[in-house]
Structures are given as C-alpha cells and as structure tokens.
Structure 1
Amino acid sequence: MASKIIYAAVAVAGIALASGAAWWYQKPKAPGANPSPTAARPAAAGGSGKPVTVEAAKVEVVRLVDDAQAVGSLRSRRSVVLRPEVSGRITQLNFIDGQRVRKGQVLVQFDDQLPLAQVQQSQAELSIAQANQKRNQELVAQNFVSQRSLDESAANLQVAQAKLSLAKATAARLKIVAPFDGIVGIRVVNPGDYLKDGADIVNIEDIDALFVDFRLPERFQSKVKRGQTAVLDIDALPGRRFVAQIQAIDPLIDANGRSVGIRGCIDNRQLQLRPGMFARANTVFSVRETARVIPEEAIVPQGNRQFVIKLLDGPDPQTRSTKRVEVKVGIRSPGKVEILEGLEAGDTVVAAGQQRVQRDGTVVSVVQIGERQAGQAIAPAGGAARPASTVNTVAFVPALPGPNPCGVVSVEAPVRGVTPPSRTAPERKPAATRDPA
C-alpha cells in the first residue's frame, strides 16, 4: 500500500515539473517584445517587407492556324481485282505487268471453242426459224395454213433468238476486259493455267487521283466541311507536301473511338504517290493573322471560368501591382493559348507564381518576362512547334495544267454563324398603270 502512494506522488511531481517547463518555454523573454502589426503584415499585402517574386509574360500578336492533325492512308480512286465468272483455261494474256490499259481493252482470253460452236449452232437455228416464219406469213396470206401455224413459227423464232443471245453471252464471259482506265499490277497466272470461277488474276489501279482516308475527333465535326483543304506530309517523300481537297465526311461517328471519317482527294497525275502510303494529314479550318496569345500556364481556371493575373503599375518602378481578370480563351497550341476577350496586345500577366498572390493589389517583383525568342514559330493548334528557319524547307508539289481529276468541290457554309452568299434578286418591272376609265 505504501509503494502505491509513493508511485502516485512521483507521477504527480513529474506532471507538475513538465507543466512548469512548458510554461517557461512559451513565456516571452522580455515584456513588449511582440512584433508590431506592421512588421507582421505580409509583404504581399503592401507592408514594408520584401515583395512577392513572380514570373511574367506579355500578350503577343502572332499568326495562329486553327487546324487538326491526323494520320491516314492513301487509296486508289478506283481499284479492282480481275476474277473470272466461269471456270476455264487461259489462252492469252494481252497485257504486261505494270502497263497502262484503257477501258474495254481485252486483258485475258479463256478457251472459247465450245461457246463459239454453240453460237454458230444458234445462228443456224435462227436462220431456219426466220425462214419458217417468213414462209408461214406468205401461206397465211393465201389461206393455205392456219393462224396457229404462224403463231408457232413466231414462237420458235423467239426461242432461236434467245438461244443465240445466250450463246453469245456465254462466249463473252470468257473474255475479261478492263472496267476503267488504269494501271495493271503484277499477274499471278500464266497462259495455260486452268482457273476456277472467282480466282484472282491481276489488280487494276486508277491512281491519277488518290483518296486519303483519316479520322478526326468528334469535337471537330462542326468545323470540317466539304471543299476545305488538308496538307499532307508523306514519310516516304520527305521535303514535299501535297494538297488534298476534302470531298466526303462520314455521317456516322464511330462509337468506339468517338471519331468521324474524312476522305480527301489528291491530284496524282505526276504519279509520285502510290496507294497504301502512310500520310500525315493537317486539316486547316481557319487562319487568324492577329491572334493574341499568352503562355498556357498563365491561365488560372476556376470551375467553368478562366482567369489571369494582370500586372499594373506598382508604387515604384521596380514593382508591379496585380489585378485578377476574367478572360475568354480560344485556340490552344502547345505552350500557348489564344485570348479572345479580357486582354489587349502588350499587356503583362503572371506566368508563374500565381499561388503567391492572394488578392488584388498585391505588390510583386517581376524576375523574368517570358518573350518569344527570335527564330521560334508558334505551332499550329494540335501540332508541334517548328523553328522559323525550317518552316520554308518543305515545298508544295505544283499541280499540272488541265482539269483536276478530283473535280471541283465548293466549300460548304457552316450551318450556324455564316450568312449564305446573297443572290441577285430579279429585277422587278414597274406595275402597269391602270386606266381609271
């Protein structure tokens, strides 16, 4: 019992000693040593302390391209693989691999001896039927035979004509002709081969005009229109660019990738491009010559609203004052964002250190002003930045004179926001004056 009392006394003494030590540690060393309110005031609130340091950038006016980049493949305008409709043995191949052929040219001839013999037989039967029909017509006119005999001979004549047409059609199916103008590929058969119906013989490609098929995200479906242009970079042909005209837009958006299919047409009469090539398509929606841009990190989002911290003149030449401004953004490019409303060219905004500015009127010190360096070009939206010295190293392939094989597609006006071209109203004639009489 005595030991328990001793342990309790020791515990109480320890607690009292710890409380006294804590009180002594927190007690001010000298009365009135508390810092003054002015000294405790943060420098950002306008006190006598050191101003907040931030990085700033100016609003620049640049040429900004509203476009979208995608990858696609080149396809022939018309492509077909020749296949026989009936089985047979090849007797002639009237083309050379890689040769240009014309529409209607006979390319492959199968053994047609039996069908030609059937054609001759049908022609003989037709001659007999025609003679019988003519003879019965004369006899009916003289009342030597009945009308029934004339009707039977007329039916036999029609049957003979049908047999001849069938024999000719069977013989024609043993000749394979070119369905359109193009270039034949590499054949996989030789004269003497026996082919079954549906076997591959050779492919024909019409490459005077090529299609480029690519897909864009669904957010661009309201911007892309028929008649717009797309600039193509071909990895197999570095240093050259081709222009494609958008001819078709798939009305169905892919539910898996949420993208819309686009098809453009390229004038390929110089035969520099081949079907199956890989292409990088850059679809141009619009070009803004005087776009105001700032660094992307200068934007301070709050919910659905966008803000920037604008720098104004400070209390002295070495400092600036801050003001929070709401802006409306437009096109975004890597590292840059377009400002549509809220800022003017030449204004300065905080590019880094926004978290140090708590309220408007904060005095800050600018340690660096981000300016676009010489020789650096603003990248198009959705693309990569390219130095100005390398922009002109890529040359566009000139078009050949004459009609464009892709045809002419007029640019469609957007559904909203664009007024359709005005049409000249027909001249109205003055109304005739009515005679009061």
Structure 2
Amino acid sequence: MILGNIVSDENRTTAVRAAKPDNTRLDWTVQSSYLEGVGYQQGPRRRMTLTRTAAAVAAAIVIAALGSAFDDGDGARAAPPQAPPGVPVEARPVQIGPLSDVIAAVGTLISNESVMLRPEISGRVEGIHFVEGAPVRQHALLVTLDDAIVAAELADARASLELSKRNFERARELFRQRAGTERTLDESKSKLDSDQAKVELALARQSKTRITAPFDGILGLRRVSVGDFVNAGDDLVNIESIDPIKIDFRVPERSLALIATGQAIDITVDAFPGRTFRGEIYALDPQIDPAGRSVAMRARITNRDGLLRPGLFARVSVIVSNRAQAITVPEQAIIPFGTDRYVFRVIDGVAKRTKVTLGVRRQGAVEVVDGLNADDVVVTAGQLKLKDGAPVTVLAPPPES
C-alpha cells in the first residue's frame, strides 16, 4: 500500500514537472498541501526533488522571457539601432569674385574752385543780374554798383590830363627854343604822368562797379539786395566750381609708402546710399602732421551730373591692389581661437575644422587668402555646437527679408 502510494506520487510529481506554470513563481504552500492530502510524507529526498523541480521551472521561465525580448511579435528580429542625427547647421558656398586691397579713410568734399564775391569799392547796389543757385559762365555780369561818383571822378581826371598835355607841349617847345628851363619841362612831364595815372585809376574804379563771374560755376545765395550800400569787402554771393569736385582726406603715415599720385580712390556719401564715385589722387602734402601722425592728400572726382556738393562727408577707399578671383565668406563663418581663425567646412555631411588666413574685409564678408578652395561650403550658423568630424544636417537658409 505504501509502495503504491509512492509510485502514484511519483507519477503525479512527473505530471507537475511536465506542466508549465501560469506564472513565474511556484506556490509551494499549495503544492505541499496537495502532497499531504494524498498521504505523502515529505522527507529529505523528496524536498531535494521538489527544489530541483522548482529550479528547472524558474530556468524555463527566464529562457522564455529572454526569448520574448528578442521577438517583435511576428517572429522577426528587431532592426539595428539607427545612427544619431547630425547637428543642424546653416551653410553656404564660398564666394568668388573681384576684390581690392584698400586703405580706408574719411574726408570732406570741397569745390574745385570757390570764391565769395566782394566789392573792391564802396557804393550802392544798383542791379543784381543773376538767379541764386543757377549755373553761371565766366565773365557773366552779376552785380552793378552806382557809378555816378566814379564817373565824375573820371571826368575830372580826364580834364586835368588834357591840361597837363598842353602844358607839357608848351614847356617842351620853349625848351627847344632855349626859352624855357629843363626844370620846367620836367615838372610839366611829371604832372602829365600823374594826371594820366588819375585817369587810369578812375577807369579802374569805374570797372569795379561791375562785378562779374571769375570762372564757370554755380552761384550760391546772395547776401544783398538792390539799394543796399556795401563797403569794400562785404559779402555779395559765393560761386562754386564743382566739376570736377575735390576731396581732402588723411591716411596714417605707415601707409604713405603704398600711396602715390595717380592712384584711384572710391568714395561713398550718405546722401546717395549704394552709389560709389571714382576719383584720383593728384596731390600729397609734403609735411606729416606730427600730432595725428598722418599725411593729408587731395583727389579729384568727376561730377558731371552735379550730385556731389562741397561740404559732404565722404568715406574714402584708397585702392592699393586688385584681385580678379578672390575667395570670400560671411563674417559669421569665422571662428576666432587665440590668434588663429577657423571655419567649419561641410564635406560629405561631416564638419571639418579648418584653419584659414584672412585678408581684407568688406561689408558682411571677409577674404580668405589661404585654407579654402573655390568649391568649399562653410558653416555660417550653428558652428559653436560643432567639433571636428561631427555629422551635420544642413538646413535650408532662412528667407531674405
């Protein structure tokens, strides 16, 4: 009876081993109750059998769990992990084009010729014969002064001259006849010359009542009106010759060796943004300013349309040399590091840190004289997040406003 129970219990234990548990833990309390219910007395050997059985079940559960971790539900293996995305950046191709080495300066435009017309004699303004701000030709009559007094002085001088001529003729005839002295002849000759000079003086004074343009130019604003009494030296009107127009500017003394007469310059003025005017240096001051350590120079600029006016502030670029195929990049592409400068080139989706040598600067751009090729693409935004060899994703440039 006892042997039959043992066999029956072994069959049941085998059934327990074959059964797959519904959960990951075996309820040992339930199993023990079941064995006790059939009259099975646990001993050391039976307890060892049950421990081995539990270990086998736990191992099966672990293996099943690991297998499910690599199963996507359809029996297929999971896809390999994707590569991390590149750092988002903006990039642009380098620019190729003509570029000039220049020396920057500032200056002031001045007239080619400029004068303030002033009377040389006093008198009342009798007539004004010009329109303010209008062009005028050389020798054109501009202002007339009342010449009544001057005319009377001229008539008196001419009368005295006629008398002096007759007296001189008498004295000379008497001297020939040895009836007059040489002293009388000399005195009459001196009086004749003096009266002749008075006539010429009166004629000159009369001519000063007519004020004319000394050169072709443009008239300014008049300072007088008809009927005004003016003294010698009072302002009447200014006249300016502005084609060509000149510009005075200074450059540091260290640049003197790079500049010579005949050298080209470009100027820009705030009055005409976006326009550049070409000129030529024609004079250098032989003396260096000891206070500012600079040298003054003067250039001419063609001004046929009359746009440029005296007194305008101008930015000057003295052209030192020209290059037809210069490489330039946006200023924001340059990364300073100590005394060196770098850019990031984009090569096959990877950022390549490259040392560059810079040249001249222009508005928003800088020349690269060494380190880049004509077909390179450089990072212009987002480079502070990069390191050499980092993958990048080039974003579309933002729309221009």
TM-score (norm 2): 0.60
Q: Give the Cα separation in 1 of the matches to 2:306 and 2:341.
A: 53
Deviation at 1:231, TM superposition (A): 2.4
List aligned pairs for 1:337-348, cutoff 5 A. 338-339=368-369
Relative to structure 1, the CA distance from residue 250 to residue 338 in structure 2 (aligned partners, 3 Å threshold; closer, same or farther) is: farther
Q: Give the Cα separation in 2 of the matches to 1:369 and 1:219.
A: 47
Q: Give the Cα separation in 2 of the matches to 1:243 and 1:210.
A: 11
| Alignment-derived partner of residue 119 in structure 1 | 154
Percent identity, aligned pairs only?
37
Name the larger-Rg structure: 2
Letter in 2 for 1:199: D
List aligned pairs for 1:23-422, cutoff 5 A. 62-63=96-97, 64-291=99-326, 331=360, 336=366, 338-339=368-369, 365-367=389-391
Q: Give the Cα separation in 1 of the matches to 2:287 and 2:393.
A: 48
SS across alignment from 2:119: coil
SS across alignment from 2:389: strand
Deviation at 1:204, TM superposition (A): 0.8
8 Å CA contact retained: 1:93, 1:109: yes
Letter in 2 for 1:140: F
Q: Give the Cα separation in 2 of the matches to 1:318 and 1:127.
A: 107
SS across alignment from 1:95: coil
Q: Give the Cα separation in 1 of the matches to 2:365 and 2:130.
A: 57
Relative to structure 1, the CA distance from residue 124 to residue 263 in structure 2 (aligned partners, 3 Å threshold; closer, same or farther) is: same
Q: Give the Cα separation in 2 of the matches to 1:230 and 1:322.
A: 38
Deviation at 1:344, TM superposition (A): 8.2
Q: Give the Cα separation in 1 of the matches to 2:341 and 2:167.
A: 99
Relative to structure 1, the CA distance from residue 374 to residue 133 in structure 2 (aligned partners, 3 Å threshold; closer, same or farther) is: farther
Relative to structure 1, the CA distance from residue 343 to residue 207 in structure 2 (aligned partners, 3 Å threshold; closer, same or farther) is: closer
Deviation at 1:66, TM superposition (A): 0.8
Letter in 2 for 1:208: D
8 Å CA contact retained: 1:71, 1:215: yes
Q: Which runs of 5+ in 1 are unaligned?
A: 1-54, 312-316, 357-363, 376-386, 388-437
Q: Give the Cα separation in 2 of the matches to 1:319 and 1:119.
A: 97
Relative to structure 1, the CA distance from residue 95 to residue 291 in structure 2 (aligned partners, 3 Å threshold; closer, same or farther) is: closer
8 Å CA contact retained: 2:359, 2:366: no
Deviation at 1:309, TM superposition (A): 12
8 Å CA contact retained: 1:248, 1:263: yes
| Alignment-derived partner of residue 20 in structure 1 | none
Q: Give the Cα separation in 2 of the matches to 1:319 and 1:191.
A: 82
Deviations 1:341-362 (A, max 9, x none): x99888999x989xx9xxxxxx
Deviations 1:171-215 (A, max 9, x none): 333332222122222212111111233222111111222112333
Which is helix-richer, 1 or 2? 2
Letter in 1 for 2:183: R
SS across alignment from 1:365: coil
8 Å CA contact retained: 1:310, 1:347: no
Q: Which runs of 5+ in 2 are unaligned?
A: 1-88
8 Å CA contact retained: 2:116, 2:235: yes
8 Å CA contact retained: 2:114, 2:241: yes
SS across alignment from 1:72: strand
Deviation at 1:257, TM superposition (A): 4.4
| Alignment-derived partner of residue 3 in structure 1 | none
Deviation at 1:76, TM superposition (A): 1.6
Letter in 1 for 2:114: S
Relative to structure 1, the CA distance from residue 120 to residue 207 in structure 2 (aligned partners, 3 Å threshold; closer, same or farther) is: same
Letter in 1 for 2:165: Q
Deviation at 1:321, TM superposition (A): 12
Deviation at 1:368, TM superposition (A): 6.1
Letter in 1 for 2:239: I
Relative to structure 1, the CA distance from residue 293 to residue 92 in structure 2 (aligned partners, 3 Å threshold; closer, same or farther) is: closer
| Alignment-derived partner of residue 8 in structure 2 | none
- Backbone CA RMSD of aligned residues: 4.5
8 Å CA contact retained: 2:334, 2:343: no
Deviations 1:222-258 (A, max 9, x none): 2232222222333323454322222223344444544
Letter in 1 for 2:212: V
Deviations 1:264-315 (A, max 9, x none): 222222223332334333332211234467889567667xxx798999xxxx
Deviation at 1:369, TM superposition (A): 11
8 Å CA contact retained: 1:59, 1:293: no
Q: Give the Cα separation in 1 of the matches to 2:221 and 2:358.
A: 55
Q: Give the Cα separation in 1 of the matches to 2:317 and 2:283.
A: 16
SS across alignment from 1:271: coil
SS across alignment from 1:66: strand
SS across alignment from 1:232: strand
Tell me the matched-pair count: 307
SS across alignment from 1:125: helix
Letter in 2 for 1:149: T
TM-score (norm 1): 0.56
